[in-house]
Structure 1
């Protein structure tokens, strides 16, 4: 059963049209049907083969306007790093007690940062953290001795992204309460980061498709020419 609001939203989006990034960023606000401050997500189809190691795109980007969501951060570290992590705003800091909690199924966090020295202890948590994309990784800056800087970056709007098995990047880049300009600027920042990571072995079209949607709204197709530098 499609609600009246969703029908109206669907009517405003021309499924045969590829909108400019600027148009899509305004339209996504207009067609939002939820009463809460919905997340705005980008879905980017890349011309890569994720099975090939050099084409399994992953990385991080600091969005200029943040994501609009306060991320819960856990820092797993030795006692000498705990004060720095807490002062930087980490929500949870410690080691053994959190390893035990995670083994028991606790994953009520958005990002885990760890120091290199504790990684051998964390390896066994891969089964729980891997599928949820929570495993600390040097490539995303979440395995580091400078835990304070890492916490500040995450709290300031740094997001991690990773291509899925069919070559698509899914990322939250803001909220519908953001201005259209902020949605467009955050979107462009993510796309720029992906373009910089284009592997030399990727042939043909790299940015194959881009769409934008808010929670429970129809997707808006974006003209890839409007986001290419």
Structure 2
């Protein structure tokens, strides 16, 4: 046993002296993880900055007001010249079917209140309007409605017709006391999307049923959509003077409502362009004049 001890010590001694030699040969670490993290942070910051820049660019491109055409690039016409060209496009069509349509382009912001109303033009465009009055036929309002020329007067029976999809009228009037019953019957969700639901703002919820029916029988409704108001202002058989009077009345009311909105809500709407067209013709931008000195005589324009 004693002969083995020196060799064991030698092995032990060799083992203990070899450990530091092995460790000394390990490669030295020459990189830092903090450098990678810093690079990642820089890349992340750059990406955020680029995204923010793109967002601001998109925001700048977004128009606050509706885009308006450059009027200097447009050819504009007198009313009589526009009528003459429109009639050329309507050759062969019945004079009572095509309509003169007026589009009033407004300079206005995209987000905000819109103009919506009804008007009785000097010369009625649509003569076959059917007015419905939601009231008891035996009540005072019901009797006034019949005398004024309403095509349909009733409550429960009309409710059932509407629910069954039979809506045989173009305008609808009621009195304030009948509104709860109309709402309970679920008519707003049916008539509302069709623009037929009686409204206090439009004057179709009223105690003066007789006057409202008479106004609607010769009246037209309009509503601003995307900065433009469109409405029929005449039949093809109208004289140039009749079209002129209707156009003037329509524009005058729109301007009046725009001014009232500016005063009440501090929201401005300005008439920017007026375009006349018909059922089968393109639009003609009007310059505000009735006719030129060498325009076709208005008597000839009256011939459909």
Aligned: 1:91 with 2:151: yes
Find the counterpart in structure 2 of residue 4 from structure 1.
none
Question: Aligned in 2, Cα 1:129/1:154: closer, same or farther, shift over 3 Å?
Answer: same
Find the counterpart in structure 1 of residue 130 from structure 2.
72
Q: By how many angstroms is 1:196 displaced?
A: 0.2
SS in 2 for 1:107: coil
The whole-number CA distance in structure 2 between the counterparts of 1:140 and 1:133 is: 11
Return the structure number with greater relative CO, CA threshold 8 A, min gap 6: 1
The whole-number CA distance in structure 2 between the counterparts of 1:135 and 1:192 is: 26
Q: Structure 1 residues 194-203 or 26-35, which shifts more?
A: 26-35
The whole-number CA distance in structure 1 between the counterparts of 2:108 and 2:155 is: 37
Aligned: 1:162 with 2:223: yes
Aligned: 1:106 with 2:170: no
Q: By how many angstroms is 1:128 displaced?
A: 2.1
The whole-number CA distance in structure 2 between the counterparts of 1:25 and 1:191 is: 18
Superposition CA RMSD, Å? 2.2
SS in 1 for 2:194: coil
Instruction: Verify the 8 A CA contact 1:26 1:180 in the aligned structure 2.
Output: no
Question: Aligned in 2, Cα 1:151/1:213: closer, same or farther, shift over 3 Å?
Answer: same
Structure 2 residue runs without a partner (length 5+): 1-72, 291-304
TM-score by length of 2: 0.62
Aligned: 1:138 with 2:196: no
The whole-number CA distance in structure 1 between the counterparts of 2:111 and 2:158 is: 33
Match of 1:120 among 180, 191, 196: 180
Q: By how many angstroms is 1:24 displaced?
A: 2.5
Q: By how many angstroms is 1:31 displaced?
A: 2.8
Q: How many residues align?
A: 207
Match of 1:129 among 175, 191, 195: 191
The whole-number CA distance in structure 2 between the counterparts of 1:209 and 1:47 is: 9
Q: By how many angstroms is 1:109 displaced?
A: 1.4
Q: Residues 6-45 of structure 1: matches in 2 within 5 Å? A: 16-33=74-91, 35-36=93-94, 37=96, 38-45=98-105
Q: Residues 188-199 of structure 1: matches in 2 within 5 Å? A: 188-198=248-258, 199=261
- Runs of 4+ in structure 1 deviating by more than 6 angstroms, as ranges, are none
Q: Residues 172-191 of structure 1: matches in 2 within 5 Å? A: 172-191=232-251
SS in 1 for 2:127: coil
- Please tell me whether Structure 1 or Structure 2 has the larger radius of gyration of its CA atoms: 2
Instruction: Verify the 8 A CA contact 2:277 2:283 in the aligned structure 1.
Output: yes
Q: By how many angstroms is 1:34 displaced?
A: 5.2
Q: Residues 48-67 of structure 1: matches in 2 within 5 Å? A: 48-49=108-109, 51-52=111-112, 55-67=113-125
Q: More strand per residue: 1 or 2?
A: 1
Q: By how many angstroms is 1:75 displaced?
A: 0.7
Structure 1 residue runs without a partner (length 5+): 1-14
CA-to-partner distance for each residue in 1:163-221, whole Å, 9 max, x for gaps?
12x12111111210111110111011011000001132345x71122212211222222
Q: Structure 1 residues 183-192 or 79-88, which shifts more?
A: 79-88
